[in-house]
Amino acid sequence: MSLALLSSYAQQAGTSMAQAMAQAAAKGSAAPVRNAFSQPGGIVAIRAAAASLRAFVWVIPFILIAYILLAYVIIKFRDKGDGRKPATFHENNPLEFLWTIIPLIVVITVALHSYPTLTFMEFGGNNPALTIDVVGHQFFWEYKYPQYGIDISNDTLVVPANAVVDLDLTSVDVIHGFYVPGLGIQMDALPGRITNLWFKAKPGYYKGQCTQLCGVNHAQMLIDVQVVPNDQFQAWLAKHRTQSASLPAAPPAALPVAPTAARKARGKA
Ligand SMILES: [Cu+2]
């Protein structure tokens, strides 16, 4: 990859991040923008990151022991050119028992400590404040707020802060993947099936992307989630309800937004 190409990628990334911050500021939220390398901002993401760090801390001594022993053996028992025959012993039952049982105990400990996090990710989002239907299309996301009669496509998903938000995902064409690392959520959107996710997050602007190679414009299936304080969310709801009410009652599925044109227009705005 050429240096020019790399720097153009960096410039694109810089521009989009600056745009995201400007959008967040324009919408009255000076909250941080979070991507895959930021501090997690959702409660699921925070717990998953803590569990991951804990497992890493338990596992790292074994990696160190193995490599330090390997280095020791290579240096200590190398052929010194003095004609000595190498030892040919094998089997040491107590040692073999130890190096089996100790990692096994650690694996079981990691599993037991991860289990509450996994069940929390699966079942922790009971009594959601808001349920949103997320529909994957080639190549954009559609968000329906059935409680409020709002249906938006190829736009920012706006949700209230510090509230349980429930997402029911599906797709109208091929398999898409809904992935927002700062919220700690990732789930496939499958045609003919409904999958489920939940999150609860601090205010902020969260970046995500489709994670299933869904076709030629897969790379354009970006995800923008804006988490705002409740009063701002209510204002957003009021604005979009009136907009929805003023629209003719056309079935949205029959009138898909042209994703490329709409995204380009949004990029220029
Ligand atoms: Cu996709």
Residues near ion ligand 1 (Cβ under 5 Å): 176, 210, 214, 221
Whole-number Å distance between alpha carbons of 181 and 65? 32
**All domains in the chain, ordered by first residue:** 43-78+90-123 (no CATH), 130-248+255-268 (2.60.40.420)
> For position 87, what pLDDT does the model report?
79
> For position 15, what pLDDT does the model report?
43
Task: pLDDT tens for the chain, 269 residues: list them.
Answer: 333 433 443 444 444 444 544 554 455 445 667 766 667 888 898 998 899 999 999 889 889 999 999 999 999 888 888 888 877 888 899 999 998 999 899 899 999 989 999 999 888 888 899 999 999 999 999 999 998 888 999 899 999 999 999 999 999 999 999 999 889 899 999 999 999 999 999 899 999 999 999 999 999 899 999 999 999 999 999 888 866 555 544 444 433 444 444 444 444 43
Global pTM reads 0.69
CA 4 to chain centre: 29
- Note if the bond before 139 is cis, omega within 30 degrees: yes
Q: Please tell me the distance between residue 72's alpha carbon and the centre of ligand 1 in angstroms.
A: 50
Close Cβ partners of 39 (under 8 Å, ≥ 6 residues apart): none
Q: Please tell me the distance between residue 208's alpha carbon and the centre of ligand 1 in angstroms.
A: 12
Q: Please tell me the distance between residue 30's alpha carbon and the centre of ligand 1 in angstroms.
A: 29
Q: Please tell me the distance between residue 218's alpha carbon and the centre of ligand 1 in angstroms.
A: 5
First to last CA, the chain: 31
Contact indicator for 209, 223 with CB cutoff of 8 Å: yes
